[in-house]
Structure 1
Amino acid sequence: MSPNYKRYDLGQQPAGTVVEVVLSCINNIRLMDNDNFALYAESKNCRYIGGRTEKSPARLTIPRAGHWHVVVDKTGFQTLANSNVRAIPPKAIQPANAAAPRKAASPATAEAS
């Protein structure tokens, strides 16, 4: 039996982080904080940002600092999409003469369930 969803644990993220999700086919994308992911994993009602996603890549913005998860699920679809997720940190406002090298965003680690 194939998994119904794939979870990406983004860990602690600041507000304004953009989460980019690439999908191989139409699926649902759900961006959730830690508490809501726990509810989702228990098949309980939860709150999330996102939903049915037809265009890839999709970009969602984290509204507040905290521990975040992205779930790609096939609810309403036959196939779980191949997916890739990355977190893009908010851009720091810097004076033009104080440009500093930027650290590359690291991809999230996936966990199938």
Structure 2
Amino acid sequence: MPGPNFRFTHYDLKPQRAGTTIEVTLSAVNNVRLMNAANYQRFTERLDFKYVGGVARKSPIRLVIPENGHWHVIVDTEGHHGLAESSIKLIAVPAARSPQQQAS
């Protein structure tokens, strides 16, 4: 079955922890969509899917992973003229400090 009928760039983020920030840099206005593995599968099958994000009018855009799991980022042209050049950077969740570290 063919995928979506518009151009897109796919980034497989693999398993990530909730709270991890994703920074996406774009060369033009495009959609940036952060979705879990089940919704990415629905996206590729042209079914309704859910995501975090939307039209990115400025760059960079930052999105936060809402829950632990396998995540994907799609940069796509749906409703736009051309596919932006893009890059992605993961900003890890800061490690939780123990009560002894907070007291010092």
| Fold shared by both chains (TM-score > 0.5) | yes
Instruction: Report the count of equivalent residues.
Output: 96
- Aligned partner of 2:64 in structure 1 is 61
Unaligned runs of 5+ in 1: 99-113
After TM superposition, the score normalised by the length of structure 1 is: 0.80
C-alpha root-mean-square deviation of aligned residues, in Å? Answer: 1.7
- Aligned partner of 1:109 in structure 2 is none
Deviation at 1:88, TM superposition (A): 1.1
After TM superposition, the score normalised by the length of structure 2 is: 0.87
- Aligned partner of 2:84 in structure 1 is 81
Q: Does 1:11 align with 2:14?
A: yes
Deviation at 1:87, TM superposition (A): 1.2
Q: How does 1:1-113 map to 2 (within 5 A)?
A: 4-94=7-97, 95=101
Runs of 4+ in 1 over 4 A off after TM superposition: none
Identical amino acids, percent of aligned pairs: 43
Q: State the alpha-carbon separation in 1 of the partners of residues 20 and 76 from structure 2.
A: 22
Deviation at 1:93, TM superposition (A): 3.0
Letter aligned with residue 41 of structure 2: A
